[in-house]
Amino acid sequence: MKKQLLSVLSAILFVQISMAQHQEISEKPSMWKGMLNRAKDSTTFLHAIKSGDVDVHLRYFFMYTDNKKELTDYFANALGGALRYETAPFHGFQVGMSGSFIFNIGSSDLSKPDSASGQLNRYEIGLFDIQNPKNKRDIADLEEIYLKYNFRKSYVLFGRQFINTPFINLQDGRMRPTSVSGLWLSIDEVKTLHIEGGILHNISPRSTVGWFNPGESIGLYPGGVNTDGTKSEYAEHLNSKVIAMAGFQWAPVKYLQLHLWDMYTHNISNSLLVQADLQYRFKDNTLFAAGQMIRQDALKDGGNADPAKTYFDKGAKAMTFGAKLGWKNKAFEISANYNRITDHGRYLMPREWGRDPFFTFLPRERNEGFGDVHAVMGKINYNVQKINLKFSLAGGYYKMPDVKDFLLNKYGLPTYSQINLDIRYQFPGRMKGLEAQFLIAGKINVGETYNNAKFVINKTDMVSYNLVINYHF
């Protein structure tokens, strides 16, 4: 059924491209570009279809992980694309759909564990289908199919869609992003206030090709250990049918933005985020600062009455605090960032749903699943506007609980330092729409690993090399 739907989408897009007089090309180096609504409604539904927006995106991704000597190194080459179409408004209504396809065009054997540690591949498998590492060709998904109604500056959308929130987000650092299904509302009727939220009943996590209810989606990625040190068994054993989420962004004065997000996950947990962002502009410079707090509480039995098969221990809670301070102008941005996860318990947010919202987040590692963490990160961005070239250099120190402190360390990650170099280039002129990114992420072990390779491989004393080429048209 999925292949048939993708075929229908391809046919619609082919007709649309044939009728279009020209295409706008995204100038942003992201996997998905936003579709702009038409200023006026179409007079007929046929006109709405003919006047719709098309986005075609092709992506090549090379990834190589260089692990410590005597541990397995991995590489992968992925090639894929995405097609997206959205009609013009017709009496306020729009219909949209998108699909993606991925091919493994050459990689290590991602189903074979490392002989020294017994651990499986961590990074490269995320380019494909984590549920079937041997799947190299049948990796396709209908990621969006929705009905949208626009009213004034707001809209309501029902169906499969993409959302970008602190807790559930695209996390599109692989071949395809995470998508969700449900009802989503965005309200922009007051100039200084933005409200969004909705109810979600299905999720298609990045690196998968299926759709799952919230409980089923948790545990598709490796689950680490329970708080008593036994292997987590919550995969396929969590009872959670719906997620309810709401977010508010308020700018009471010119230099201040306040953010409030709350996510209720049926039978599992409630997560609350409060954040304040300050900006002060003078001439061509901007000083900025931010503070963040997240509070989590388990609901009922945390997903399962059996402690060995639950996600949140009954009565568990977690707290995190973050701060950011920086300066920027048109060419440079410099920031110092800090995050603290207290020792009240593990901060738990399904990795299948999105990346960490922490100011200290760096690609290729997360602090989800841990408690009693101190993280410090500094970052410098340099934008050479004349040649469309961007450099980013970041370094951080992450003080983790001991790898054998199972109560606070879910994934056996020791204290580490990380350095990332990210270079991006957008081609000009006739090659507009072509973008290249080169990311090097190196992690250095600073903590005790007890001479156990499972605490090292794909975690520390490693370098991840990434080359990504995108083409939008």
How many domains does the chain fold into?
Answer: 1
Beta bridge partners, 66, equal: 463
Q: Whose structure tokens read 């963040």? A: 292
Domain that holds residue 57: 2-472
Of 26-30, 139-143, 299-303, 440-444, which range is least confident?
26-30
Structure confidence at residue 172 (pLDDT): 84
Question: How far, in Å, CA of 388 to CA of 384, rounded?
Answer: 6
List Cα–Cα distances, 187 to 38, 93, 258, 348, 415, in angstroms: 18, 16, 16, 29, 42
Residues 255-280 have a mean pLDDT of 98
Q: How many CB atoms lie within 10 A of CB 224?
A: 17
Of 135-139, 331-335, 438-442, which range is least confident?
135-139
Structure confidence at residue 21 (pLDDT): 35
Q: Whose structure tokens read 């609350």? A: 272
| Backbone angles phi and psi of 2, in degrees to 5 | -60, -45
Residues 364-377 have a mean pLDDT of 98
Question: How far, in Å, CA of 437 to CA of 62, rounded?
Answer: 11
List Cα–Cα distances, 290 to 194, 271, 277, in angstroms: 19, 19, 4
CATH number at residue 291: 2.40.160.10
Please tell me whether the overall predicted TM-score, pTM, comes out greater than 0.85 for this model: yes
Structure confidence at residue 3 (pLDDT): 52
Check whether 22 has a pLDDT greater than 50: no
- Show Cβ contacts of residue 431 under 8 Å, excluding neighbours closer than 6 positions: none
Check whether 31 has a pLDDT greater than 80: no
Beta bridge partners, 78, equal: 61, 104
Q: Residue 16 — very low, low, confident or very high, per pLDDT cuts 50/70/90?
A: very low
Structure confidence at residue 116 (pLDDT): 94
> Whole-number mean pLDDT of the chain?
92
Render pLDDT for 38-49 as a digit per residue (tens, 0 to 9): 445 667 888 899
Render pLDDT for 315-341 as a digit per residue (tens, 0 to 9): 999 999 999 999 999 999 999 999 999
Q: How many CB atoms lie within 10 A of CB 106?
A: 12
Q: Residue 293 — very low, low, confident or very high, per pLDDT cuts 50/70/90?
A: very high
